[in-house]
Structure 1
Amino acid sequence: MKNILLLVLFTVSVISCNKNTGNSNNKNPLLVNHVDPFIGTGGHGHTYPGATVPFGMLQVSPDNGISNWDWCSGYHYSDSIVVGFSHLHLSGTGIGDLADVLFMPTNKVIDLTIQPTSRDSFPYKSSYSHKNEMATPGYYQVFLEDPKINVELTTSERTAYHKYTFAENDKQALIIDLGFAINWDKATKTAITIEDNNTISGYRFSTGWAKNQKVFFVAKFSKPISKHLLFADGKPIASTTIEAEKVASQLFFEAENNKELVAKVALSSVSVANAKDNLDTDGFNFESVKNQAQTTWNEALSKIVVETPVDSLKTMFYTAMYHAQLAPVIYSDKNGQFRKENDSIETATNYTAYSTLSLWDTFRAENPLLTIIAPERVSDIVNSMLAYYETKKILPVWTLYANETNTMTGYHSIPVILDAYIKGIKGFDAEAAYEAMKTTMMQDERGLNFYKQYGYIPYNLLDESVTITLEYAFNDWCVAQMAKALGKEADYQFFLNRSKAYQYLFDPATGFMRGKSEDGKSWNEPFDAKHSNHREQTDYTEGNAWQHSWFVPHNVEDFISLHGNDTIFTNRLEQLFTESSEITGDNISADITGLIGQYAHGNEPSHHIAYMFNKANKPWRMQFWVHHILNTQYNTTPNGLSGNEDCGQMSAWYVFSSMGLYPMNPASGVYEIGSPIFEKATIKLPEGKTFVIEAENVSNQNFYIQSATLNGVDFNQTSISHQQIMQGGILRVVMGSSPNKNWGLTNNKRG
């Protein structure tokens, strides 16, 4: 009965809080109410439900304690056991790391001499039910059934807050386990110091995907610590300071006729002193921090306001907007300092450093979306990449906690920099950025030596040769455009010529991009366009020839001519979506998900493909297939994403496509006109301007564009520039249930 009463009181408190927040924020609708952080926590979405703020330094979230691919974020909706709440998490990646500095409240003495070998052997684990769990942007709550403790989490930009409500007369205690790790992360050196009656500090050094990760922390409590137990690698130590490979502690607190305990925690990559500087100084007002997190999220979500009578569409859209603003994450401390992988300490001067740069994924739509909804952060992201460049004189590939993981193919810092520059985003040194772009593409690592020697990468010299060659060709095109913008004509011609490397790998007999030998003539045989072999002895990255043969976003006209003509090209595009979904091979990539024919929406290489119909005079087929993807690959359940969220890319595709736009060439400053699903979408721009997309007669049946006007003038083209959008105005499209095969057939060949 006490537990039921606790939950009832908690629910009333939450409702009251939400009502109060709503009353104080009448100017904007509470868009946070349309966000469901549990979307993507099931299936292969790999998202986490915990608390953070937009691009926040901390992501405090529950950990189920399972090491498995679908638990990459630490949490999966299918689970019902929690082992604690750690402070750093990845949103939707395919690789598990982080989960640093685990806290777990309890109501009894726990035997921390036990060294867990599996989730079952964690002595402090608890069961929970989704019935007693909730999440909204910036807030997470769960009731722990075994110790009968209600847990609430929220955050500010650099401080996490825990609120534990214990049962009446129960012991009030907290476990801190710095040895806890998931997947291949491993603690190498950890420490805890009891600083005073209300404060602890320490660090956790680890190796995993990020090979050299150093996390320093400080935690302050709303009640004095009455007793502490410290353990070094399972052995009890009578001290106030302890250091070992795996350190754990149990802290006890006096009840003081108060069932609540609040902890606030700050981290730093540099030092405990910096963590203390990052820690909020405003006391322990959990509700105030929670309300501010909600307000911050509401402002971030309101950068685009959509209007539709269909509530599920609002939920999918604003959850996508939420997921698109979880990463990259703030990495530099309040004083600007941050640690690089070589242990040098950098100071971000006049910018904020970011990490968690999942660039193979996010360059496609996530980073272009940020130029619209968070342009003030884009130059900081570029400056962060340039700071990481200085370590090895190579731009980042996939940066986690300032560690270069070299995960995935290509150098997609390059299109992100170009995209920012051509869109007029200031705040970084364009000449220095160009030098980094050029130097990166002229070095010899990761197959560039072969690329420079042969003009492509021979399949017998490097795995994933087709994907890598196509992505390097695009990277070269980006370097060429930057060179042109800066007046470097010789460099422009050099890199533009190299950007045609895709021509070497196109097989006109099959219509696919194929692995070619170093002799320049022989194809990799035998050939099966449906064959997948995950990350080894393959010509394609996490996919097959069907999915990877379309990556020529920078020169679609020439690409079409390689096929022969528009008709041949679009027939093959149609076949991509209508071919059987069989994938062959003994080691099929788990990333091939969300299949429509051989189109795989669950992985990023497919994301631009449907929009290529626009360039081949069949925009109505793009409208059909994009509408089909929107309808089938997203929903409002925990399984609502068809593949890994990948730090915002899966959601950014939805945000753009549902409005009727998409950056098919993500470094061109041009968006393809798609098939909007909202009656109205209003993009809020700087200086009080807005760009509005209105779709007259739109419905689930009316998804074909009949006609369009831009600011009242007839608009008969299938693309629009970033500059046109930034000027503000109204793009009005009339929708119908059957295609208008004449609309958009002029001026549509922008490559």
Structure 2
Amino acid sequence: MVKNYARIILVLILFYSCKTDDKTPKKSITGTHRIAYVDPFIGTGGHGHTYPGATVPFGMLQVTPINGISEWDWCSGYHYSDSIAVGFSHLALSGTGIGDLADILFMPINKKVDLSITPVSRDSIPYKSKYDHQNETASPGYYQVFLEEPNVQVELTTSQRTAYHKYTFNQNDPQSIIIDLGFAINWDKVTHSSIAIEDNYTVSGYRFSKGWAKNQKVFFVAKFSKPINEHHLFRDGTLINQKASEGEKIATQLFFDINDSSELMAKVALSSVSVENARLNLDSGGFNFKEVRSHAEQTWNDALSKITVETSVDSLKTLFYTAMYHAQVAPVTFSDKNGQFRKEDDHIETASEYTAYSTLSLWDTFRAEHPLLTLIAPERVSDIIHSMLAYFETRNTLPVWTLYANETNTMTGYHSIPVIAEAYLKGITGFDAEKAYQAMKTTMMQDDRGLKYYKKYGYIPYNLLDESVTITLEFAYDDWCIAQMAKALGKDEDYAFFLNRSKAYQYLFDSQTGFMRGKSDDGQSWNEPFDPKYSNHREQTDYTEGNAWQHSWFVPHNVKELAELHGGNATFTKRLEQLFTESSEITGSNISADISGLIGQYAHGNEPSHHIAYMFNQAGKPWRTQYWVRHILDTQYNTTPNGLSGNEDCGQMSAWYALSSIGLYPMNPASTKYEIGSPIFDKAAIKISEDKTFTIEAEHVSDKNIYIQSATLNGEPFNHTSISHNQILQGGTLHFIMGDHPNTNWGVNQ
């Protein structure tokens, strides 16, 4: 209902000329406008943890509504089940499993409120308001909601580094804005803040906090379209008769001249460095909301047009272009216009000839989002690697999960490594390959986070470290990635060393059960008792956010040997089938909430399962990859707010859909190959350059015709279940004939 309402509103807005005033819809759009198919509300329900607010591709700001509840499903600050708003913040996380940010909260209001009272819950926040989803819309670069208590229409848009607010009050109503720097949700806690009323139109300040990011410093400057007639400034609950103050929790209420206009505009810029840098980031000129929104929409349209799809099924277009949208909201721009950004040790770095990025959810995004970026935004990939190397200098270790330049050490492995190796092996330049390699090697030769045991035993013993199986398997893959880069750089000794270490999975495979299992430091004893369905979330467990069924398949760099360990392809594929058909019961008293999107024991709602359906390709049964991939596409995504089966995780859940739906998936990203699954579109075109396109055609494709019967590449017979990145970069056409029965010969004898 909301999706259709939002689409109708968007189409009307884009229908008329942009030369008219803000309230008049724009000129009619053509079929090239992909933004009409994007629904930012997808993923805001269930456990998707996305936000509906305004941003631009990889933008610094995410200006979005905040519900004011500190629970898991409100990690982004917003959940579709809610109908209360406490304000609009300027930073948000997209689809994470931990909550933070929601910094620099603005809230329009039409009455004076008492900010001296410390709220004990959302119910006691004096400026909260109800809203109705029928009066709420969202599209790329734009968000709108009507707040019922103050009778204020709120519209938000943004450029790369400046957020724009447009508040429409009832005629003659008092016009006021709350800025509450003490407000916090989830893990976040403000430690120090400041507000200064600089002049009649300008407010600045900062907010320091600790939470998931242990040392977050956000500076801001806000300019308003009307003069501030009066202000009430509160320091830690006490009204201060000053124009500036600092303390733990600073808040202010600003009152504006009505000035015969019901509209009040604000523009806000942030910086991690200083107020002056925030001022530098603030867009010059006036408050042309319509123009900024139009530019944001055009920027999104360009980003979404890097892959175009053709189908008669509109819901599939909505799913695809929304997935492309979600895959490009993170990582986020972190460096200021002058290149400066703050690191967690408070050192101010300058990004010279690159843009620094943060919000690197690498445990998730190395799997599909970063590979997708090598196709649709390769110019950003080298900048992301530059950012990783800048963060490396702080700790002498590559990033694990970086939030506002803080290393959170969230999740397992060191998956900056496959991102760097993949980029280099795909021919992406613009970063120092030797420096990057040394950072990769240094990271995997230190002793932290289980590497001490990994180096000593060749695996991590379960009795020495929790999540030992997952960590061992992920370290093994990271080693394989280093080996490939070492080989490409002519470092033969390193290549042999890391390639040998990448076989660590051999220590943990139990041939009796067919699972990867926790092994003791004696090299013989398994962790007993053993139940492959057992989950114990993040403590006294051998598996990260899952169980043996979900984690025993993570050997993407050597599927053929994994099959041999199982006893050959027949046994291996039989067990793969069992994964999808086994009972979905999860045992234990502390089951991980991340185990979601279950098909049997396959859990699409969490990333460790994402590559598994493609493993049939390398075990002689590609038609089973085609079957299960299509089943996942059909059952784990939909166009409602509950349309994601698990946390979006900064683009990974959506990147899986975007790539799988066109028939490709990077099962092993650093191999530079894409496995072929089951395309759902009649045609998908990847824009390689202005004059070069790689097209994937699926003749006769339908909800029944999911199996590849035959294929040609540029007119020549194609009988392979994977295609290289380099082949795609050459341009051309990969043409499939689809049917409703498996062709058990296609792709088998490669």
TM-score (norm 1): 0.97
The equivalent of 1:95 in structure 2 is 98
Residue in structure 2 matched with residue 488 of structure 1 by the alignment: 491
Aligned position for 2:411: 408
Q: Could you tell me how far 1:686 is from its partner in structure 2?
A: 2.1
The question of 1:273 aligning with 2:276 is answered: yes
1:52 equivalent in alignment to 2:52:
no
Distance 2:484 2:371 in 1: 17
**Alignment match, 1:364:** 367
| Per-residue deviation, residues 631-659 of structure 1 (Å, max 9, x unmatched) | 00000000000000000000000001000
Evaluate the alpha carbon distance shift between residue 17 and residue 710 of structure 1 in structure 2; reply closer, same or farther with a 3 A threshold. Answer: closer
Q: Which residue of 1 aligns with 2:660?
A: 657
Counterparts of residues 664-743 of structure 1 (less than 5 Å): 664-743=667-746
CA distance in 2, matches of 1:126, 1:501: 55
Is 1:540 equivalent to 2:540 in the alignment?
no
Output the CA distance in 1 between the equivalents of 2:32 and 2:251.
45
- The reply to whether residue 558 of structure 1 matches residue 561 of structure 2 is yes
Residues 129/267 of structure 1: CA separation in 2 closer, same or farther (3 Å cut): same
| Correspondence 1:35-184 to 2 at 5 A | 35-184=38-187
**Contact 2:13 / 2:26 at 8 angstroms: preserved in 1?**
no
| Structure 2 counterpart of 1:467 | 470
Question: Aligned residue for 2:16?
Answer: 19
Is 1:296 aligned with 2:299?
A: yes
**Runs of 4+ residues over 2 Å off in structure 1:** 11-28
Any unmatched runs of 5+ in structure 2?
Answer: 19-24
| SS of 1:196 mapped into structure 2 | coil
2:621 equivalent to 1:621? no
Q: How does 1:543-622 map to 2 (within 5 A)?
A: 543-622=546-625
SS at 1:433 equivalent:
helix
Q: Structure 2: how far apart are the matches of 1:28 and 1:530?
A: 48
Equivalent-residue separation in structure 1 for 2:11 and 2:470 (angstroms): 49
Give 2:307's aligned amino acid: I
Q: Is the 8 A contact 2:15 2:29 kept in 1?
A: no
Q: How big is the shift at 1:693?
A: 0.2
2:254 to 251, 256, 272: 251
Number of residue-to-residue matches in the alignment: 738
Task: Tell me which residue corresponds to 2:642.
Answer: 639
SS at match of 1:446: helix
Shift, 1:667, TM fit:
1.1
Structure-1 separation of matches of 2:190 and 2:15: 40
Deviation at 1:666, TM superposition (A): 1.3
Contact kept, 8 Å, 2:166 with 2:266, in 1: the verdict is yes
Q: How far apart are the structure 2 equivalents of 1:519 and 1:16?
A: 68
Verify the 8 A CA contact 2:10 2:36 in the aligned structure 1. Answer: no
**Structure 2 CA distance, aligned partners of 1:14 and 1:733?**
34
Q: Which residue of 1 aligns with 2:313?
A: 310
1:535 to partner: Cα distance: 0.3
Report if the CA contact (8 A) 2:14-2:27 is conserved: no
Please give the alpha-carbon distance, in whole angstroms, between the structure 2 residues aligned to 1:507 and 1:568. 14
Structure 1 residues 386-405: aligned runs within 5 Å: 386-405=389-408
- Report the secondary structure of 2:575's partner residue: helix
CA distance in 2, matches of 1:136, 1:142: 12
Which secondary structure state, in structure 1, belongs to the residue aligned with residue 423 of structure 2? helix
Alignment partner of 1:238 is 2:241: yes
Rounded Cα–Cα distance in structure 2 between residues aligned with 1:663 and 1:575 = 23
CA deviation digits over 1:499-524, x for unaligned, max 9?
A: 00000000000000000000000000
Asked whether the equivalents of residues 304 and 325 of structure 2 are also in contact (C-alpha less than 8 Å), the reply is: yes
1:451 aligns with 2:454: yes
CA separation in 1, counterparts of 2:718 and 2:49? 40
**Aligned equivalents of 1:532, 1:347: Cα separation in 2:** 44
The alignment yields a C-alpha RMSD, in angstroms, of 1.3
**Cα distance in 2 between the residues matched to 1:428 and 1:695:** 37
| Residue 22 of structure 2: aligned partner | none
Show the counterpart of 1:193: 196
Q: Cα–Cα, structure 1 residues 674 and 70, in superposed 2: closer, same or farther, change >3 Å? A: same
CA separation in 1, counterparts of 2:558 and 2:265?
57
In structure 2, do the counterparts of structure 1 residues 435 and 61 end up closer, same or farther at CA, with 3 Å as the change threshold? same
CA distance in 2: counterparts of 1:238 and 1:718, whole angstroms: 71
Task: State the one-letter code of the partner of 2:287.
Answer: F
How far off its partner does 1:12 sit? 8.5
User: Aligned residue for 2:343?
Assistant: 340
Distance 2:114 2:28 in 1: 48
Question: What secondary structure is seen at the aligned counterpart in 1 of 2:341?
Answer: strand
- Write the distance in 2 (CA, Å) between the matches of 1:12 and 1:551: 45
Residues 83, 564 of structure 1: alpha-carbon distance in 2 compared, 3 angstrom cutoff = same
**CA distance, structure 1, for counterparts of residue 513 and residue 194 of structure 2:** 60
**1:17 Cα shift?**
4.8
1:355 paired with 2:374, answer no
Give the Å deviation of 1:18: 4.7
From 426, 430, 437, the counterpart of 1:427: 430
Which amino acid is the alignment partner of residue 199 of structure 1? Answer: T
Letter of the aligned partner of 1:123 in structure 2?
P
Distance 1:309 1:276 in 2: 48
1:509 matched to 2:505? The reply is no
Measure how far apart 1:19 and its partner are: 3.2
**What's the CA shift for 1:20?**
2.9
CA distance in 2, matches of 1:664, 1:412: 15
* Amino acid across the alignment from 2:253: Q
Q: Give the 3-state SS of the residue equivalent to 2:625 in structure 1.
A: helix
Partner SS state of residue 628, structure 1: helix
Secondary structure of the 1:140 match is strand
Measure, in 2, the Cα distance between the counterparts of 1:526 and 1:659.
43
Letter in 2 for 1:356: T
> Which amino acid is the alignment partner of residue 120 of structure 1?
D
Q: Distance in 2 between matches of 1:213 and 1:23?
A: 40
Whole-angstrom distance in 2 between the partners of 1:686 and 1:132: 41
Does the alignment pair 1:498 with 2:501? yes
Q: Deviations over 1:608-650 (max 9, x none)?
A: 0000000000000110100000000000000000000000000
Structure 2 SS opposite 1:575 = helix
Structure 2-normalised TM-score? Answer: 0.97
Q: Are 1:215 and 2:194 matched, yes or no?
A: no
Matched AA of 2:154:
V
Counterpart in the other structure of 1:204: 207
1:16 Cα deviation after fit? 4.3
Match of 1:383 in 2: 386
Letter of the 1:205 counterpart: F
Work out the CA distance in 1 between the residues paired with 2:663 and 2:690. Answer: 24
Corresponding residue number in structure 2 for 1:4: none
Which deviations, in whole Å up to 9, do the C-alpha atoms of 1:25-70 show, x marking residues without a partner? Answer: 9676111000000000000000000000000000000000000000
Asked whether the equivalents of residues 11 and 36 of structure 2 are also in contact (C-alpha less than 8 Å), the reply is: no
Alpha-carbon contact 2:16-2:28 (below 8 Å) kept: no
Pair 1:440-2:443 in alignment: yes
What 5-or-longer segments of structure 1 have no aligned partner? 1-7
